[in-house]
């Protein structure tokens, strides 16, 4: 994780644009996200993301960092979790792997889109591009074990000491990216699959009962 600043490499226009966007996000943050402007280094964007309800990360406050490179916005920033987290798309050094910061990057996406994408990654992990292979394997093969590990890490490293309102179980504002929608094994998807199976079982049981009459 690089700690060097790229302010001197950015044009004054880009610096003004980033500063305005960061200030707007600090004053009007997306739900579940807080942005902290760094007046000393505008290329160092730090924020906290509230763990979404209905996921193993619920109740956690996760600090993240976006590092804007000298070619921003033509090239995407690098994203890191500063808070330890057990997640398929987060490496041990905190690096975040999501298509928005890779092949799907577009210069006009903006910081808000990135922050929402990272938040939604907590709802829809993508084991197909896992940086943490153990987490990716557990997510696909032993979801309960994955959930338990992720919840334990959240409890140890991300729990806030101050009480906040319970987060919503789903975020309908998730950006539509191929990375997040490519898996049906995320926490919320797993829950919905269980609900669907339970409903189908009830229908079958009801039919059997009617046949006996």
DSSP conformation class of 102: T
Q: In what order do the strands lie in the sheet with 33-36?
A: 33-36, 44-50, 61-67, 78-81
Q: Report helix, strand or coil for 88.
A: coil
Going by C-beta distance under 8 Å and a sequence separation of 6 or more, which residues neighbour residue 7? 15, 41, 42, 43
Q: Is 174 an active-site residue?
A: no
Beta strand 78-81 with 44-50 is unpaired
* Choice among 97, 98, 101, 118 that is catalytic: 97
- Beta strands (DSSP E) in 29-109 are 33-36, 44-50, 61-67, 78-81
Catalytic positions are: 97
């Amino acid at each position: 994780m690089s700690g060097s600043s790229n302010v001197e490499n950015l044009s004054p226009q880009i610096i003004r644009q980033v500063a305005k966007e960061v200030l707007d996000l600090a004053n009007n943050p997306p739900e579940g996200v807080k942005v902290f402007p760094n007046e000393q280094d505008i290329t160092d964007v730090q924020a906290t993301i509230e763990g979404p309800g209905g996921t193993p990360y619920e109740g956690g406050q996760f600090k993240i960092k976006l590092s804007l490179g000298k070619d921003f916005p033509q090239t995407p920033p690098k994203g890191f979790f500063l808070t330890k987290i057990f997640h398929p798309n987060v490496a041990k050094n905190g690096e975040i792997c999501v298509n928005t910061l890779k092949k799907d990057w577009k210069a006009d996406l903006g910081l808000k889109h990135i922050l929402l994408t990272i938040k939604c990654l907590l709802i829809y992990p993508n084991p197909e591009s896992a940086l943490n292979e153990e987490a990716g394997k557990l997510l696909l093969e032993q979801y309960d074990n994955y959930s338990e590990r992720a919840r334990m890490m959240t409890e140890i490293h991300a729990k806030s000491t101050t009480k906040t309102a319970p987060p919503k179980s789903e975020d309908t504002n998730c950006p539509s990216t191929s990375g997040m929608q490519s898996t049906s094994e995320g926490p919320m998807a797993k829950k919905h699959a269980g609900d669907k199976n339970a409903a189908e079982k009830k229908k079958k049981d009801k039919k059997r009962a009617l046949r006996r009459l």
